């Protein structure tokens, strides 16, 4: 009997292993999807949905409101998703209530209609709607935004100051004194006219594995060669959203969103911190001092060594420490 069980189990495991290898080479996006699901569970994030048939928001959550510690709402950057914050779910203390949402058109949230006027105001409006739906509206929360998400949360705080207890801006999208590699290529593309911009013009909108490698090289300090099949899987997962991402870039370019945060930073009154990767190639670190001078209540400015635009990938531990110090919870 035992030999039968052993042989049967071995055959099943061999089939699973062979199937996984075959799937990795024929449809790598399914393997990447499964790996992301496993990582999500391992980091303690519960994936949830809230909304209606017109506007359905996907978000991640860990824990529940703690009267002794302010809840955290995290907003991701351009073409990213709530999953970019998994490193913080893993590292922030377990008694801190965490929520990260997929912005409209990103992750598993609804995709805006073609005639919707997308842009910063659109995103701010839907974050406000989301906040009401999940009950964060009841008491002020700690708002964190990275990259485009940084610009969005800055404007959210100006619009709804009563909802934000404190604000963390991580490499926020803005016009900086020194041009970054990304801003140079984006500005060159815009010279053709906004409507003529294509995927190939933007480092952050990769379509092929080689373009995906260039994107990762641009956003991190610790550059490394990524397996081609892994990149193909990631590109395939992004593909259904690419058309929206390009439309969003064009909409943001039309409203010149890069100067809005700097122009109105003085309107942000809550305690604020600035976190920036010293070697950011997407939004140059020179923007940190500009914001520091204009913010009315900037309590911390942390320039992270050996980190690029995606501090969450380069130095997640350093980022966690910076956030906890700002919250007065680091020990």
Structural domains in the chain, CATH included, are 43-327 (3.40.50.1820)
pLDDT of residue 37: 84
First to last CA, the chain: 56
CA 234 to chain centroid, in Å, comes to 15
The tens place of each residue's pLDDT in the chain, 331 residues long, gives: 333 333 333 333 344 344 444 444 556 677 777 888 888 889 999 999 999 989 999 999 999 999 999 999 999 999 999 999 999 999 999 999 999 999 999 999 999 998 999 999 999 999 999 999 999 998 999 999 999 999 999 999 999 999 999 999 999 999 999 999 999 998 888 888 888 889 899 999 999 999 999 999 999 999 999 999 899 989 998 999 999 999 999 999 887 666 778 888 999 999 999 999 999 999 999 999 999 999 999 999 999 999 999 999 999 999 999 999 999 998 7
Q: Helices 120-134 and 148-159 meet at what angle, rounded to 10?
A: 70
- Give, in degrees to the nearest 5, the angle at Cα 270 between 157 and 276: 80
Distances in Å between the Cα of 90 and the Cα atoms of 60, 71, 159 are 13, 16, 31
User: For residues 246 and 238, is the Cβ–Cβ distance under 8 A?
Assistant: no
Distances in Å between the Cα of 212 and the Cα atoms of 30, 180, 228, 250 are 18, 19, 9, 21
d(CA 67, CA 96): 10
User: Any idea of the CA torsion for 292, 101, 221, 315, to the nearest 10 degrees?
Assistant: 80
Sheet (strand 298-304) strand order? 46-51, 56-62, 98-101, 72-75, 141-146, 164-170, 272-277, 298-304
Distances in Å between the Cα of 98 and the Cα atoms of 51, 107, 151, 181 are 19, 18, 20, 33
Ramachandran angles phi, psi of 190, nearest 5°: -70, -20
Active site residues: 147, 280, 309
The DSSP 8-state label assigned to residue 66 in this structure reads B
d(CA 317, CA 288): 20
pLDDT of residue 189: 87
266: left (phi over 0), alpha (psi -120 to 50) or beta: alpha
């Amino acid at each position: 009997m035992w030999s039968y069980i052993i042989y049967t189990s071995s055959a099943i495991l061999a089939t699973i292993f062979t199937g996984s290898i075959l799937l990795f080479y024929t449809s790598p996006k399914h393997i990447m999807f499964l790996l992301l699901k496993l990582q999500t569970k391992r980091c303690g994030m519960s994936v949830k949905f809230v909304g209606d048939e017109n506007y359905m928001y996907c978000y991640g959550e860990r824990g529940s409101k703690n009267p002794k510690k302010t809840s955290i709402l995290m907003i991701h950057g351009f073409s990213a998703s709530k999953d970019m914050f998994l490193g913080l779910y893993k590292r922030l203390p377990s008694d801190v209530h965490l929520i990260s949402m997929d912005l409209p058109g990103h992750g598993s949230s609804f995709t805006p209609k073609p005639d919707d006027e997308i842009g910063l105001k659109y995103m701010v409006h839907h974050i406000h709607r989301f906040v009401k739906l999940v009950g964060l509206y009841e008491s002020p929360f700690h708002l964190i935004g990275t990259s485009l998400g940084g610009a969005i949360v800055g404007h959210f705080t100006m619009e709804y100051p009563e909802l934000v207890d404190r604000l963390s801006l991580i490499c926020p999208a803005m016009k900086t004194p020194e041009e970054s590699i990304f801003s140079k290529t984006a500005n060159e593309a815009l010279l053709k006219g906004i409507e003529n911009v294509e995927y190939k013009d933007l480092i952050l909108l990769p379509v092929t594995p080689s373009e995906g490698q260039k994107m990762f090289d641009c956003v991190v300090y610790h550059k490394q060669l990524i397996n081609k099949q892994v990149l193909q899987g990631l590109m395939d997962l992004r593909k259904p959203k690419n058309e929206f991402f390009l439309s969003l870039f064009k909409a943001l370019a039309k409203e010149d969103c890069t100067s809005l945060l700097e122009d109105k930073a003085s309107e942000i009154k809550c305690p604020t911190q600035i976190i920036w990767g010293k070697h950011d190639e997407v939004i140059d670190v020179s923007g940190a001092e500009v914001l520091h001078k204009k913010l009315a209540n900037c309590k911390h400015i942390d320039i992270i060594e050996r980190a690029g635009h995606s501090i969450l990938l380069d130095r997640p531990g350093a980022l966690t420490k910076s956030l906890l110090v700002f919250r007065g919870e680091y020990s």
